Structure 1
Amino acid sequence: MSRSKIPDTDHFTRNTEADTGGQPESCDEQAVPDNYELEHLHKFQPFLVREKCEELVREEFKGIKYDHDRCRSVSENLRAKILDLLKKLFDRYRFVVQIVTGGKAGQSVLANFEAVWDTDFDDYFMITYKQQDLYAFVMVFAIY
């Protein structure tokens, strides 16, 4: 039984020698250093943006009576403004902004959520807004 010699695997080539004029092209020469950032540059801190988001909520819902269609369009505009603010301040995070609106008619409302996340990096805050015939819950989740 004859064993064939296993080729040297310390040197890999990307192109054939014919493509490079007879010279092997080494992957090592083309290596680009990793630019992956496993840690965030600026950790999400809810207290930095909560007050500004509360101000946006007050401005958007001020003087509005509950109407499903009107509250929907106001909520969409508010969500876009909050997302723009958050994306400017915190890079490398994904944000979820959920807005729940309803009319006050003597009933109670219970809002609940569950999440699986990394407590070192991910966070959230919630804003509750009430006026005479309207309520709104704004939940902002920051996920790294």
Structure 2
Amino acid sequence: MEAEASTYLIRPKHKFKAGVAKEFMREILREELTGVQYNPDEIPTLSRSLAESIKKKLKGVGFERYKIIVQVVIGEQRGEGVKMAARCLWDADTDSYAQEIYMNDSLFCVAVAFGVYYY
């Protein structure tokens, strides 16, 4: 009887690549938000839709055993500044994030995708 090889991985085969994630996010935001005008009634649905699209695209890339968390914030463009911050406790060797910003005359959108390796 042959011994089975251990299938438990403590390090990813392919790390979460922020550059790849950023490009996908840029593409999705441009496709979905070009020409869109800010409407407060539609923003909750639009935010969820964008987050789901980004998450689905990133899961399809093959970041195996990664938990993908996506946050999308959309606001009205009024020439005012906005600051956002996030704090996470994670393994700097395996976990990472990517962010992308989209703006037009009517709205701004900040999308952040976190890739956290599941041990």
TM exceeding 0.5: yes
- What letter is aligned with 1:102? G
Q: Specify the structure having the higher radius of gyration (Cα).
A: 1
Structure 2: gaps of 5 or more residues: none
TM-score between both structures, scaled by the size of structure 1? 0.73
What's the CA shift for 1:33?
Answer: 5.6
Match of 1:61 among 27, 33, 52: 33
Distance in 2 of aligned mates of 1:86 and 1:106: 32
Contact 1:66 1:102 in 2 (8 A): yes
- What letter is aligned with 1:82? I
Percent identity of the aligned residues?
31
Report how many residues are paired. Answer: 115
Match of 2:94 among 96, 114, 121: 121
RMSD: 1.7
Partner of 1:71: 43
Instruction: Write the mapping of 1:39-50 to structure 2, written as runs, cut at 5 A.
Output: 39-50=11-22
Q: Which has a greater percent of strand?
A: 2
Superposed CA offset, 1:40-78 (max 9, x none):
121111112321220101111111111123122222111
Contact 1:61 1:74 in 2 (8 A): no
Match of 2:108 among 135, 138, 141: 135
